Amino acid sequence: MKKRAQIVIIGGGVVGASVAFHLAERGVRDVLILERETEQGRGSTGAATGGVRAQFETDINIRMSLYSIDFLKNWEHNCEYDPKGYLFFATTEGQFDYLRRNVEKQRSLGVRDVSVVDTGEIAKIVPGMNCEDITGGTFGAHDGFINPLAVMRGFAEGALCGGVSMEFGVEVIGLNVENGRITSVETSRGTVECDVAVICTGARAAEIASTADIELPVSPQRRQIVWSRTREPLPEHLPMVIDIGSGFHFRPARDFRGAMKNPVATAPGSDGREVLFAYPDPDETTSIRTDFEDSFIFKVYERAKLRADFLFESEVVRERCRAGLYENSPDHHAILGACEVGGLYTANGFSGHGVMHSPATGRALAEIILDGEASFLDVSCLSLSRFARGELLHETAFI
Ligand SMILES: Cc1cc2nc3c(=O)[nH]c(=O)nc-3n(C[C@H](O)[C@H](O)[C@H](O)COP(=O)(O)OP(=O)(O)OC[C@H]3O[C@@H](n4cnc5c(N)ncnc54)[C@H](O)[C@@H]3O)c2cc1C
């Protein structure tokens, strides 16, 4: 293993891979990704379901999405972008007003094909859904799905072709700082000297940052997803459907992990009868648990019962139910850029949006590291220092 690299990226998930890709695009080759697992995709990226949307509340999330969706749509690498749409619905007038205001903002920032929809239109978009209590909603036609593992692989392959190196089975256990600057990272296979280190360790970012006395407010939280098989085929163009009040959501299922192992095999869900559903369980506390609990199935079905017979009558595919870690920040926005230690950068805290925002994140980090700031998009509001300044962002449309 190399004992020195100009830039060390800690963590080889979709975010670390994107940072490396964008550095390589700028011609920086002396970059080393250190990944503690024996292969990529064992962190949150491998658990992600692959939703991508521009329907957010804050300017920065909308702009990160606009850039990233455009990138994913036009990328020469096939990341299986499938614009099936995102439907948010409201069950109170207050929620509906909130969604309408968001659409106005999204349009003003350049989001195309996002519209306010009434209950009749919602019933047509999702035949069979109980719409009695629905006051209205919004539909983003360019929102949809991507394959998180394909995005990660695309970035990794591009980075490796550009001269970046990646080492597996190497755990970073500490950061060495001298005179306020990073000098090296301590790993399970010895010390690696560097001028720059980027923390891309997802839900476990706070642990690593603390070894350089940096308080990074990222907390891991389990997120469980139920996978079921419906009696009849799902509506052909079923989008992601989200209750903005409870966060309960459902969408057609696709098994990226199985498909990655055997890309020729027909991906489960391709007969149009498999569905994923979940909601942000308020009983979940900060933890690194990634086991799936059967009791969650009961909780989800209680909500499904109120929403659609086709969901409630579906049969759980227990072996495909999954859990992974969200990497939450206090204001549910990413924490990007420099910190008080010279040469140390963070790309964390995506709070469930790290795959969809990985293109913008990678480019932002490359520009911040090489030029001092991101010029394609002002991401300064996402800096770690916002917490000390009390300048937290506010986003309600997280699920
Ligand atoms: C159930 C679920 C559904 C989700 N759905 C979506 C979605 O629809 N859309 C979306 O955009 N996002 C979604 N997310 C969020 C998304 O998965 C994350 O935001 C994203 O994967 C974060 O990527 P990452 O590279 O930062 O983290 P990770 O993928 O976790 O990668 C971090 C890497 O760092 C490595 N690592 C950790 N510690 C060390 C160490 N000390 N030394 C070396 N390596 C280390 C890990 O092994 C891992 O490979 C979902 C998450 C979950 C759990």
Does residue 119 belong to any structural domain of this protein?
Answer: yes
Does residue 165 belong to any structural domain of this protein?
Answer: yes
Q: How far is the CA of 318 from the centre of ligand 1 (A)?
A: 23
**Would you call 306 exposed, middle or buried from its count of C-beta atoms within 10 A (0-12, 13-18, 19+)?**
middle
Cβ atoms of 328 and 349 within 8 Å: the answer is yes
Q: How far is the CA of 256 from the centre of ligand 1 (A)?
A: 15
Place of tokens 């057609």: 252
| 168 DSSP β-pair partners | 35
Pocket test for ligand 1, best of 1, 22, 37, 44 (most atoms within 8 A of CB): 44
* Residue identifier of the C-alpha nearest atom 25 of ligand 1: 13
Q: Do 236 and 296 reside in the same domain of the chain?
A: yes
Structural domains of the chain, count: 2
Q: How far is the CA of 202 from the centre of ligand 1 (A)?
A: 5
CATH of the domain at 363: 3.50.50.60
Q: Which CA distances in Å does 123 have to 73, 117, 179, 253, 388?
A: 28, 10, 62, 21, 46
Model confidence over 134-183: pLDDT tens digits?
999 999 999 999 999 999 999 999 999 999 999 999 999 999 999 999 99
Does residue 30 belong to any structural domain of this protein?
Answer: yes
What integer pLDDT is reported at residue 262 of this predicted model? 45
Q: Do 309 and 169 reside in the same domain of the chain?
A: no
Q: How far is the CA of 100 from the centre of ligand 1 (A)?
A: 31
Ligand 1 atom showing the smallest separation from residue 145 Cα: 8
Nearest alpha-carbon partner for 343 in 191, 199, 203, 186: 199
Q: Do 231 and 351 reside in the same domain of the chain?
A: no
What integer pLDDT is reported at residue 271 of this predicted model? 81
- Listed in sequence order, the residues at least 6 apart from 261 whose beta carbon sits closer than 8 Å to its beta carbon are none
Residues with CB under 6 Å of ligand 1 are 10-16, 34-37, 42-45, 47-51, 171-172, 200-204, 208, 223, 225, 324-327, 350, 352-356
Is the pLDDT at 332 greater than 60? The verdict is: yes
Q: Give the domain-ending residue among 273, 298, 325.
A: 325
Does residue 53 belong to any structural domain of this protein?
Answer: no
Nearest alpha-carbon partner for 44 in 322, 374, 332, 238: 322
Does residue 66 belong to any structural domain of this protein?
Answer: no
Q: Do 176 and 31 reside in the same domain of the chain?
A: yes
Q: How far is the CA of 119 from the centre of ligand 1 (A)?
A: 36
Q: Tell me the average pLDDT across 246-257.
A: 89
Does residue 131 belong to any structural domain of this protein?
Answer: yes
Q: Give the domain-ending residue among 325, 348, 378.
A: 325
Q: Running DSSP on this structure, what letter comes out for residue 80?
A: -
User: Strands, E, within 73-131: which ranges?
Assistant: 86-90, 114-117
pLDDT mean across residues, the chain? 95
Q: How far is the CA of 198 from the centre of ligand 1 (A)?
A: 15
Ligand 1 atom showing the smallest separation from residue 347 Cα: 26
Q: Do 188 and 337 reside in the same domain of the chain?
A: yes
Model confidence over 175-217: pLDDT tens digits?
999 999 999 999 999 999 999 999 999 999 999 999 999 999 9
Model confidence over 347-381: pLDDT tens digits?
999 999 999 999 999 999 999 999 999 999 999 99
Q: Do 214 and 281 reside in the same domain of the chain?
A: no
Q: Do 233 and 134 reside in the same domain of the chain?
A: yes
Q: Give the domain-ending residue among 306, 325, 344.
A: 325
- What residue numbers bound the domain in which 238 lies? 81-144+220-325
- Quote the pTM value: 0.96
Does residue 62 belong to any structural domain of this protein?
Answer: no
Q: Do 226 and 353 reside in the same domain of the chain?
A: no
Give percent above pLDDT 90 in the chain.
93
Model confidence over 295-321: pLDDT tens digits?
999 999 999 999 999 999 999 999 999
Does residue 75 belong to any structural domain of this protein?
Answer: no
Q: Tell me the average pLDDT across 19-42.
A: 98
CATH of the domain at 236: 3.30.9.10
Query: From the centroid of its chain, how far is CA 286?
Result: 18
Is the pLDDT at 265 greater than 50? The verdict is: no
Q: Do 179 and 242 reside in the same domain of the chain?
A: no
